[in-house]
Amino acid sequence: MKTNKLGLLTLLMIALIGFSCTTSQKSEGEADESGEAMEAESDITLSKAPPSPEFPLANLIKRGDAAVTSTDSSFVVNYTFDVQEYDLGEPTEDYETRGIANSAKGQHIHFIVNNGPYSAHYMNSLNTEIDAGNYVVLAFLSRSYHESVKSPDAFHIENLVVGDVEPDSADLTAPHLFYSRPKGTYVGADTKKVMLDFYLLNTSLSADGNKVRATINGNEFMIDEWAPYYIEGLPMGRNEIKLELIDAEENLIPGPFNSVERAITLEEAPEEM
């Protein structure tokens, strides 16, 4: 009897060890019975945003040449735009239903220099202070909740040479990716759903063509449609986002702005006293 009990215990231990090894291997990505690799779970999701009001005739036109004035250490560049079929300073009509961060100052212009973080401008004149150098300047119309207007004439782009430097212009006919949102710090209710938005030039996206690879806190998402997206499930604190414009073989498309990394911060709402 003792020998039989010992044999049973031995068999049970072997079975338990085998079960433990099987689950461990699958958690590391072994193919399951369907033949598909198991993915690491993440609370972060990315989904296409619902349709927003369209502005098909919106037009952003630069008025004359940018005026450049020098200071002791840098240059101030002044732009004036004519804005047609679009009202700056007005709230976009559906802002209350979006559930995302919204500017109380209304619709505006996103102004981007060399794919740096944008500045928001609620009137048709703006200025920026920069050092001598070669720049690519992009301006486009934005809804009050910072979603870009992607109509054909709703943007302006140009090469800008400032100061006494050797001109080195970028090829503005090549494919370019510009980062727009998310940006900065999100607090309270605005942390639940964060918009991802970018601006494309001279390219389109498709399932079998060029794509944007979004890496959010190490989690990869393939985007094959130029549209705004909502990120949900982000943790409080620092979050890192990387966007890359890639071809059908997932190679980075050459260009000075086609890979960009940013960080944003999420914070709990302050407690009421």
Q: Is residue 165 part of a domain?
A: yes
Q: Provide the pLDDT confidence category of residue 34 given band limits of 50, 70 and 90.
A: very low
Averaged pLDDT, 191-202:
98
Averaged pLDDT, 151-177:
97
The SS3 assignment for 138 reads strand
Q: Is residue 42 part of a domain?
A: no
pLDDT at 24: 28
Distance CA 217, CA 234 (A): 9
**pLDDT above 90 coverage of the chain, percent:** 82
**The total number of structural domains that make up the chain:** 1
pTM of the full structure: 0.84
pLDDT at 76: 97
- 32: exposed, middle or buried (Cβ count in 10 Å: 0-12, 13-18, 19+): exposed
Q: Is residue 10 part of a domain?
A: no
Beta-strand relationship, 155-162 and 133-142 = antiparallel
pLDDT at 11: 39
Element (DSSP H or E) covering residue 147: none
pLDDT at 16: 39
Averaged pLDDT, 6-29:
36
Name the DSSP class of 252: B
Q: CATH no. for residue 107?
A: 2.60.40.10
Which tokens belong to 259?
A: 């890979």
Q: Is residue 214 part of a domain?
A: yes
Q: Is residue 41 part of a domain?
A: no
pLDDT at 72: 86
Q: Is residue 8 part of a domain?
A: no
By residue range, what is the domain housing residue 220?
Answer: 47-267
- Taking 3-state DSSP, the helix, strand and coil percentages for the chain, each rounded to the nearest 5, stand at 10, 40, 45
Q: Is residue 25 part of a domain?
A: no
What number of residues does the chain have?
A: 273
pLDDT at 176: 98
Neighbouring residues of 221: CB distance < 8 A, sequence distance ≥ 6: 46, 213, 214, 215
